[in-house]
Amino acid sequence: MPDTLAPARHRIALVGASIGGSLSPALHEREAVALGLDYTYTLLDLDRLPPGWRLRDAVRRGVTGFNVTHPVKQAVLGQLDDLSPDARTLGAVNTVTVTDGRLVGHNTDHSGFLAGLRHGLPDIRSERVVVVGAGGAGSAVAYALAVTGARVEIADADTERAHALATRLTTAFPDAEITNLPPDLIPTALTRADGIVNATPIGMTGHPGLPFDTRALTPRHWVADVVYRPLQTALLTTAHAEGCRVLDGGAMLVAQAAMTLALLTGAAPDLARMREHLSALTASRTEPIHD
C-alpha cells in the first residue's frame, strides 16, 4: 500500500504583552475544528517571558507560526528572515510563517481592516479619512485606505513617526494624497473628512480615555475603532451619541484572523462562520476582551 502523509500539525502562538484574556485562541481553534485541522493556538505573553526571548526560541519548541500583536508588530522585524511586500511597505507584521526554518513576516491587518470596513459600513463615503495613530495598526489602516484611493491624513503624538509613515505610503502610492497631521489639528481635519479611525491603544483595557477631541464629530461622520478590548470603547459610545455610524474592532479582528488562518495553514476559513464564532464568544463573556 502507498504511504499516507499524516495531517499537518499546526502549533500557532500569539506574541504580545498583556494578552491573557485574548479571544484569538478560541476564535482560531473553533474555526480550525470546523475545517478539520490539527491546530492549537497558545499565548506567549512578553510580560512572562525572559529578557532577550526571541521567536526562534518558540520555533525550537515546536511552534509552527505566529500572530504578533501590540506592542511588537514593528519590534520583531529584526528577528525575521524576510518580509512580504505589504509588510515591507508597512514596516509592521502581524503574522509570521515558519517554513524550513525561515521566518517570514506578513501583514493581514490592512486587508482585514478593509474587509471589516466594507462588511460593517458598506455604503459609507470615504474620500477623506483621518487615521489617528501611526504605529503597526495605524500603518495597516492608512495603507488599506490608500489602496481604495482615499485621501488620508495621519495624526500621531509622535509627529516624526506620522511623517515617516506618510512618506513611506506616498512612495508606495505616488498618485495618492497622504499627509501627516498634528494631533491638535484633528478637529479642523474633521470639518473636511468623511470618517476617522482610531488606530491607537487609547480606549483599550488599561488605556482609558479618548484618542482625540470628539467635539468636532457630527452625524455625517463615521467612526471606526481597531480596539476590541472592549468592543464598545468610550470613543464609539461618544460617537454613537453624536449620531455617527460606528464600527467596532471586532470587524477587523475576524477578517484578519480568517486571512491569518489561511496563510498559516493553506485552508480556506469561512468568514461568515467566524463572525458567528465571535458573536458567540462575546455573548458568553462579561469581562473585557483582550488580544
Known active-site residue 208: no
E strands in the chain? 9-16, 38-45, 65-68, 82-83, 95-99, 102-106, 128-132, 151-155, 178-181, 195-198, 222-225, 245-247
Give the separation between CA 107 and CA 113, rounded to whole angstroms.
Answer: 11
Cβ contact 131:279 at 8 Å: no
The position carrying cell 468610550 is: 234
Nearest to residue 18, comparing CAs of 203, 202, 205?
Answer: 205
269 HSE (CA, 13 A, CB side)? 26
Identify the burial level of 123 via C-beta atoms within 10 angstroms of its C-beta, where 0-12 means exposed, 13-18 middle and 19 or more buried.
Answer: exposed
Lookup: cell for 193: 473628512
Phi, psi torsion values for 162, nearest 5 degrees: -65, -40
Give the separation between CA 127 and CA 257, rounded to whole angstroms.
Answer: 27
Cβ contact 277:31 at 8 Å: yes
Identify the burial level of 66 via C-beta atoms within 10 angstroms of its C-beta, where 0-12 means exposed, 13-18 middle and 19 or more buried.
Answer: buried
* b/e burial code for range 31-41 (CB count within 10 A of at least 16 → b): bbeebebebbb
Give the separation between CA 118 and CA 83, rounded to whole angstroms.
Answer: 27
Name the active-site residue from 28, 70, 73, 290: 73
Residues serving a catalytic function are: 73
